[in-house]
């Protein structure tokens, strides 16, 4: 007898040692919140779902293990026992009459999360919910450098309190008026001996085919709730504005259908100077058109006319682009200088064949600002210099244009 007990304990101990830690399996810390646990299950269950990984036993086993880990950690009592006694304590608790997890089939758990039958509804005759489209704005800096970030949307989700039944006690009865069909057939007499059958939604159950006696206190019997949901967003270097990113089965949920897809359109947010040091760059105010970037540089009259100046532009990733003119080099107003290789990185999906990376151009437009007024001595000095050179080498633009002179009009 003692030998049997010893063998049984040894088996349980080996099983406990072999079982993967639930927190590690879901990629969580031990202080993870209920929201963190749900988010981890949502991501991993879809990643390892057998429908997405056909003939992959490893993915199937992972799908089952993720469901088991979620069932334990989402239940307050089971989580407390697991934290204190581990896998072995949890197994003893279940065998000793403790309340087991409410789901035994991982596909049932998946169904309660996403609706439908527990399988992805991209094929077959299963009803599929509508897709959801949202716009997410990110700064130009993220399009240039790439970034891992998050965004939050509000969506319809299956009530986790009643698990989509709408009932506080889990009891759901078939409607005795429509017999569970959700519709009623009524006969209407049009004329003597002539009748018409009309199908209407059952007003007793609201077309659900089922009735509940005690409504769920959270969803009030509607089976769904509105709640915020956070998703990870991977912005790739050089992604074009308006690109579509699809999150499968992440649209509005319902017990009556498989959730549709969430479609995210990436747009560029308005430029603003951030608080972080890496956000305080000139490049924050670049303008983008396709693979090219645009910048407007302001010069004084002296700089435009005489040259001998240097400017440093801090790009979106922090590197410096230098603009300059030697003494005597004139810059005409509205001149555009094109600097190759300083534009946007080309998205990997649009790279020329054989190229590992490529960049567009930076277009710099020069705007010359004239002084509003000059002091009298400066005006005299400038007039003297201009008049001297005008008489020697200057061109009279009025005569050169061929227009009538003012005295010709008199």
364 and 382 in a common domain = no
325 and 294 in a common domain = yes
Domain that holds residue 326: 277-369
What Cα–Cα distance (Å) separates residue 19 from each residue in 9, 37, 43?
15, 19, 21
> What band does 407 get if pLDDT is binned at 50, 70 and 90?
low
The CA distance from 46 to 109, in Å, is 12
Q: Are 95 and 52 in contact (CB under 8 A)?
A: no
Domain with residue 90: its CATH number is 1.10.287.110
353 and 332 in a common domain = yes
In a domain, 300, yes or no: yes
In a domain, 325, yes or no: yes
The CA distance from 245 to 310, in Å, is 42
> If phi over 0 gives left and psi between -120 and 50 gives alpha, with beta otherwise, what is residue 142?
alpha
What is the arithmetic mean of pLDDT over 243-266? 90
In a domain, 288, yes or no: yes
The CA distance from 360 to 295, in Å, is 14
393 and 361 in a common domain = no
313 and 287 in a common domain = yes
The percent of residues above 90 in pLDDT, for the chain, comes to: 34
Q: Are 260 and 132 in contact (CB under 8 A)?
A: yes
Handedness of CA 79, 80, 86, 89 (dihedral sign): negative
293 and 386 in a common domain = no
Please tell me the predicted confidence (pLDDT) of residue 272: 85
403 and 343 in a common domain = no
Please tell me the predicted confidence (pLDDT) of residue 2: 45
Report which listed range, 172-176, 277-281, 286-290, 395-399, is most confident. Answer: 286-290
In a domain, 48, yes or no: yes
Residue 72 has pLDDT above 50, yes or no: yes
Residue 171 has pLDDT above 90, yes or no: no
292 and 345 in a common domain = yes
**For the chain, what is the domain count?**
3
As a whole number, the mean pLDDT across the chain is 83
Q: Are 142 and 239 in contact (CB under 8 A)?
A: no
In a domain, 65, yes or no: yes
Q: Are 167 and 214 in contact (CB under 8 A)?
A: yes
Please tell me the predicted confidence (pLDDT) of residue 16: 44
Report which listed range, 16-20, 42-46, 191-195, 264-268, is most confident. Answer: 264-268
The CA distance from 162 to 159, in Å, is 6
In a domain, 299, yes or no: yes
| Chain centroid to CA 146 | 13
In a domain, 169, yes or no: no
The CA distance from 339 to 293, in Å, is 10
pLDDT, one tens digit per residue, over 89-108 is: 888 877 765 544 444 678 77
403 and 320 in a common domain = no
401 and 345 in a common domain = no
Domain with residue 344: its CATH number is 2.60.260.20
Residue 309 has pLDDT above 90, yes or no: yes
110 and 45 in a common domain = yes
The CA distance from 358 to 344, in Å, is 9
- Listed in sequence order, the DSSP H helices in 75-201 are 76-95, 106-114, 140-145
DSSP conformational letter for 129: P
pLDDT, one tens digit per residue, over 316-328 is: 999 999 999 999 9
pTM above threshold 0.85: no
The CA distance from 9 to 6, in Å, is 5
In a domain, 110, yes or no: yes
The CA distance from 405 to 399, in Å, is 8
> What band does 375 get if pLDDT is binned at 50, 70 and 90?
confident
Domain boundary among 98, 114, 130: 114
Report which listed range, 5-19, 69-83, 300-314, is most confident. Answer: 300-314
Question: Which of 71-85, 204-218, 286-300, 329-343 has the weakest average pLDDT?
Answer: 204-218
């Amino acid at each position: 007898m003692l030998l049997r007990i010893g063998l049984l304990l040894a088996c349980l101990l080996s099983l406990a040692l072999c079982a993967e830690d639930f927190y590690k399996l879901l990629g969580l810390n031990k202080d993870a919140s209920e929201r963190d646990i749900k988010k981890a299950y949502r991501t991993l269950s879809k990643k390892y779902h057998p429908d997405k990984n056909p003939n992959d036993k490893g993915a199937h086993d992972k799908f089952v293990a993720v469901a088991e880990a979620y069932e334990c950690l989402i239940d307050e009592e089971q989580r407390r026992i697991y934290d204190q006694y581990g896998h072995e304590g949890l197994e003893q608790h279940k065998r000793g009459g403790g309340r087991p997890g409410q789901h035994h089939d991982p596909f049932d758990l998946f169904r309660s999360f996403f609706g439908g039958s527990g399988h992805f509804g991209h094929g077959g005759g299963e009803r599929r919910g509508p897709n959801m489209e949202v716009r997410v704005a990110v700064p130009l800096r993220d399009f240039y450098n790439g970034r891992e970030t998050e965004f939050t949307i509000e969506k319809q989700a299956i009530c986790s309190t009643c698990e989509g039944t709408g009932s506080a006690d889990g009891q759901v009865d078939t409607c005795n008026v429509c017999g569970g069909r959700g519709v009623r057939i009524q006969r209407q007499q049009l004329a003597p001996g002539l009748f018409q059958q009309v199908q209407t939604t059952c007003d007793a159950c609201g077309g659900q085919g089922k009735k509940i006696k005690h409504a769920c206190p959270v969803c009030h019997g509607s089976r769904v709730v509105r709640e915020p949901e956070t998703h990870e967003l991977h912005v790739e270097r050089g992604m074009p504005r308006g690109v579509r990113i699809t999150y499968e089965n992440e649209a509005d949920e319902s017990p009556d259908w498989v959730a549709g897809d969430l479609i995210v359109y990436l747009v560029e947010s308005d430029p603003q100077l951030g608080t972080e040091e890496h956000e305080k760059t000139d490049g924050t105010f670049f303008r983008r058109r396709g693979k090219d970037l645009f910048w407007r540089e302001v010069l004084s009259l002296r700089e435009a006319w005489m040259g001998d100046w240097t400017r440093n532009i801090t790009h979106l990733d922090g590197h410096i682009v230098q603009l300059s003119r030697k003494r005597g080099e004139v810059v005409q107003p509205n001149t555009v200088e094109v600097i190759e290789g300083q534009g946007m990185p080309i998205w990997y999906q649009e790279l020329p064949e054989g190229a590992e990376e490529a960049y567009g151009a930076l277009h710099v437009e020069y705007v010359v600002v004239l002084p509003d007024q000059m002091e009298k001595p400066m005006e005299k000095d400038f007039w003297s210099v201009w008049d001297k050179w005008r008489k020697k080498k200057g061109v009279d633009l009025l005569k050169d244009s061929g227009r009538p002179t003012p005295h010709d009009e008199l």
